[in-house]
Amino acid sequence: MSEKIISTKDNLQILHEDNHIIVINKRVGDIVQGDKTGDKPLSDVVKEYIKEKYNKPGDVFLGVVHRLDRPTTGIVIFARTSKALTRLNEMFSQRETKKTYWAVVKNQPPKTEDILIHFLKRNPKNNTSKAHLKEVPESKKASLDYKIIKKLDNYYALEINLHTGRHHQIRSQLSAIGCPIKGDLKYGFDRSNPDGGIHLHARKLIFTHPVTKELIEITAPVPNDTIWKSI
């Protein structure tokens, strides 16, 4: 099993880098943006890396476009210019990007592949979202599709495409069909992973480059642990 490694400017897993954007493969312990823990966010680490690599004086501009939950791994994209940030923000809010995730769950899903539609209601007290089959007050519609890509010894590996981007969407929707993600105590898995992460990985992102307009497809290698490697 992998122990927790935090990203630093010297060990960043860079998947793509140009003058306008930088794409990182986030590790389990990384937090994308600063929060109440006071831990150094990935955005600051990337700034340090850029400052050192390009010998930049003064402050480095870096825009946070989207987030991944702390225990999740995989693709995070940052904007290196304000122009790229504006356009990426637009693309993400208009759902013009295609995101694919991999998840490892303990129980076999009801179907080999399916579309899940729920109404998610967020509970800020314990920072979770509950998936309801019918609309409830203050809930937001959430939709994704999944398919089983591999049966492992004790688990099932799923590939998931998001149609909406809700708080803890994959975690709560999979939990609602009786398939909590490995290590995800918040959503009903029975024990935590040694590194405190969960087996949810932002595997692939397809988007149009905000400046050059070329189509970019990025795939993030899975974390170095036996279960991921067996997929």
Q: Which amino acid is at 196?
A: G
CB 144 within 8 A of CB 68: no
Q: In this model, does residue 121 exceed pLDDT 80?
A: yes
CA distance 206 to 113: 22
pLDDT at 48: 95
- Please say whether the beta carbons of 114 and 145 come within 8 A: yes
Residue 69 is which amino acid? D
Tokens representing 137 are 């007050």
* Residue found under tokens 């688990």: 155
φ and ψ of 65, to 5 deg:
-95, -40
| pTM attached to this predicted model | 0.94
Q: Hey, what CATH class is 14-230 in? A: alpha beta
In three-state secondary structure terms, 83 is helix
Nearest one of 172, 165, 164 to 128, comparing CA atoms: 172
3-class DSSP state for residue 118? strand
Mean local confidence (pLDDT), 178-186: 97
What are the residues whose beta carbons fall under 8 Å from the beta carbon of 85, sequence distance 6 or more? Answer: 63, 65, 79
Q: Which residues pair with 218 in a beta bridge?
A: 205
Report the share of the chain in percent with pLDDT over 90.
Answer: 87
Neighbours of 40 (CB within 10 A): 15
Lowest mean pLDDT among 66-70, 201-205, 207-211: 66-70
List the structure tokens of 38. Answer: 């006071």
Task: Render pLDDT for 88-113 as a digit per residue (tens, 0 to 9).
Answer: 999 998 989 999 999 999 899 999 99
DSSP 86: H
Mean pLDDT of 130-151: 96
- Residue 2 is predicted with a pLDDT of 47
DSSP assignments along 168-188, one per residue: THHHHHHHHTT-PBTT-GGGT
DSSP-based three-state secondary structure for 64: strand
Q: Are 99 and 161 in contact (CB under 8 A)?
A: yes
